[in-house]
């Protein structure tokens, strides 16, 4: 039988890097496979870890990564820790008048379509007869029911779309993989480049290692009945 492996997409990210560091020490996984657009600066492949290139905007790179992963083992844990909130030419919209079609399209590509394509390529590689979990990091601000403040149209909407895509994938996945878990998770506010411009004095942010610990603990606690859900860093379900 192929060895169980863990896969983290977004190896260069604050939370992604912390997840990899934690999973490397988890004896349940013989190997950790890290995916990102560019190789993390301090990365070395070794007996415990392999880096593979993957750009969420290029489905061919995701298909190629999936083929390599299949050769390395059986993924029993997959965490998609990629995401986009701001970039040099992308700022969260404060008002409707700021909406821009190209920015909206990019946010949907990175935050919704990309993780869904990862699910397309990797969920079929998970075992049919044993437990496994797949989590895409979403955000509480993607909750329609929780949206009282407004603003951040593109980020919110792309995370809401992500939640729907992963829930829909979970329904299909359970037909062939009844022990599989497929969810979206909100990591809390975490001190990473994504949240840095919005850090408010006095508002506590989790460190990436703490956030990674929360995410892995929540995944360890979820059974197949929880598949298709959207959960917070504390394991509590978040309204859609």
Ligand X SMILES: NC(=O)c1ccc[n+]([C@@H]2O[C@H](COP(=O)([O-])OP(=O)(O)OC[C@H]3O[C@@H](n4cnc5c(N)ncnc54)[C@H](OP(=O)(O)O)[C@@H]3O)[C@@H](O)[C@H]2O)c1
Binding stretches for ligand X (CB under 6 A): 10, 12-16, 36-38, 55-57, 81-84, 110, 137, 139, 186-187, 189-190, 192-195
CB of 127 to ligand X, least distance (A): 26
Q: Which is nearer to ligand X, 81 or 122 (CB)?
A: 81
d(CA 178, CA 192): 35
Shortest CB 89 distance to ligand X, Å: 13
Encoded tokens for 92: 């969260």
Shortest distance, position 129 Cβ to ligand X, whole Å = 30
Question: Are β-strands 4-9 and 31-36 bridged in parallel, bridged antiparallel, or unpaired?
Answer: parallel
In angstroms, give the least distance from the CB of 217 to ligand X: 16
Q: Tell how far CA 43 is from the center of its chain.
A: 20
Give least dist CB 238 to ligand X, A: 11
- Our CB check for ligand X shows the closer of 97 and 203 to be 203
d(CA 84, CA 144): 19
DSSP-derived letter for residue 35 is E
Nearer to ligand X, 29 or 155 (CB): 155
Alpha carbons 192 and 207: distance in angstroms, whole number = 8
- 161 or 177, CB closer to ligand X? 161
**Count of CB atoms situated within 10 Å of the CB of 141:** 18
Token pair for residue 191? 């001190």
> What is the rounded distance in angstroms from the CA atom of residue 132 to the CA atom of residue 148?
35
Beta carbon nearer to ligand X, 36 or 143: 36
């Amino acid at each position: 039988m192929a060895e169980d492996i863990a896969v983290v997409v977004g190896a260069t990210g604050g939370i992604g890097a912390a997840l990899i560091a934690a999973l490397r020490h988890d004896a349940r996984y013989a190997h950790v496979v890290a995916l990102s657009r560019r190789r993390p600066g301090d990365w070395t492949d070794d007996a415990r870890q392999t880096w593979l290139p993957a750009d969420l905007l290029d489905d061919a790179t995701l298909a190629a990564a999936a083929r390599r992963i299949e050769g390395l083992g059986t993924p029993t844990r997959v965490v998609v820790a990629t995401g986009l909130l701001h970039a040099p030419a992308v700022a969260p919209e404060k008002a409707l008048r700021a909406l821009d079609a190209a920015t909206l399209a990019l946010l949907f590509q990175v935050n919704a379509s990309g993780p869904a394509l990862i699910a397309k390529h990797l969920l079929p590689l998970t075992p049919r007869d044993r437990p496994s979990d797949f989590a895409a990091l979403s955000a509480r601000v993607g909750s329609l029911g929780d949206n009282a403040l407004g603003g951040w149209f593109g980020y919110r909407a792309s995370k809401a779309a992500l939640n729907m895509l992963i829930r829909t994938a979970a329904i299909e996945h359970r037909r062939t993989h009844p022990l599989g878990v497929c969810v979206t998770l909100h990591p809390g506010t975490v001190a990473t480049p994504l949240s840095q411009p919005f850090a408010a004095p006095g508002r506590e942010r989790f460190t990436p290692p703490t956030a990674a610990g929360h995410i892995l603990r929540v995944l360890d606690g979820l059974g197949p009945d929880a598949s298709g859900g959207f959960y917070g860093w504390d394991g509590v379900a978040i309204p859609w």
